[in-house]
Amino acid sequence: MNPIAIAVRQGWTRGMIELRQTLTNGQDLFGLLFWPVAMLVVLFFMRNATFQSSGLLLGSLALPSVLGMLVAVNGMIGMGQQLSLDREDGTLLRAKATPNGMVGYLIGKIVLVAGQVIVPGAIILIPGGFLVAGLNLGSVGSWLTLLWVLVLGLLATLPLGAVFGSLFANPRNFALMTFPIMGLIAVSGIFYPITSMPGWLQGAAQVFPVYWLGLGMRSALLPDAAVAVELDNSWRTMETVGVLGFWAVLGLLVAPVVLRRMARRESGSSVAERREKAMQRAY
């Protein structure tokens, strides 16, 4: 069998094992479920509020965007945290030492992070469908659109998360990266339509994939009338594909180069040095 195919299969197995461990560990499960449950509480209090004079329920506008935010946060922050943690404890060094180990490692992390999107996403979408009125959940086309936006969104954000994580050998330093990412998410029309924001913020938000993730999710789950509160009164499907596709291609081109350079710098002495510093901080 092709060595790369073997590495991909091993990566899939590794990712599924790590996902199962996450779902059966109390602390990890709490961390996975806390955010979607908190979002359901927010949606509950927003369910009867309307957006300006449009008559559209604010909760129905927010729920699809929350799903987009889930993809963005896990793709960029979750993936980065996983990589920086594994770099500190030597997991990446062990992967580097095995044939095609980095391929298997990356496949495993993609499977793990994708699972950490799908599980809380279902927790938000299924109860949210009962909490919030005005969602278009009865159409096959809606579910197909949701699927391609989810896949393209993960492809656009996971490589970025890998690049971010490779820049920080210390997970505590990576925490600094979360602030600009969360700031970007805050101005990307997640909880409130972007049309209510200043024009310069609207332009800045559209450069990055987070806004388009939210727009794609809204186009999948909201009725046609909801397009009235979007920019240009359009779902801009081709633009969504174009921007997410651009970030996916850019990330897939840049991430392997950055990861290979990072892996070449990894050694037993660098891992031991980071471990010693971590123990000193603990004491």
Instruction: List all residues 6 or more positions away from 164 whose beta carbon is below 8 Å from its beta carbon.
Output: 76, 77, 79, 80, 174, 177
Lowest mean pLDDT among 21-30, 93-102, 222-231, 232-241: 93-102
Reading phi first (left if > 0) and then psi (alpha if -120 to 50, else beta), residue 232 is in left
**Residues 243/245/251/252 CA torsion (nearest 10 deg):** -170
> What would the pLDDT profile of 91-123 be if each residue is shown by its tens digit?
777 777 777 777 788 888 888 888 989 999 999
Asked if residue 123 lies in contact with residue 27, where contact means CB atoms within 8 angstroms, the answer is: no
| Whole-number pLDDT of residue 241 | 94
Q: Where are the domains of the chain?
A: 3-282
Mean pLDDT throughout 232-250? 91
Look up the pTM and report it.
0.84
Query: In degrees rounded to 5, what are phi and psi of residue 9?
Result: -65, -40
> What would the pLDDT profile of 166-207 be if each residue is shown by its tens digit?
877 676 777 777 888 888 887 887 766 677 778 888 888 888
Torsion sign (Cα): 2, 91, 159, 35: positive
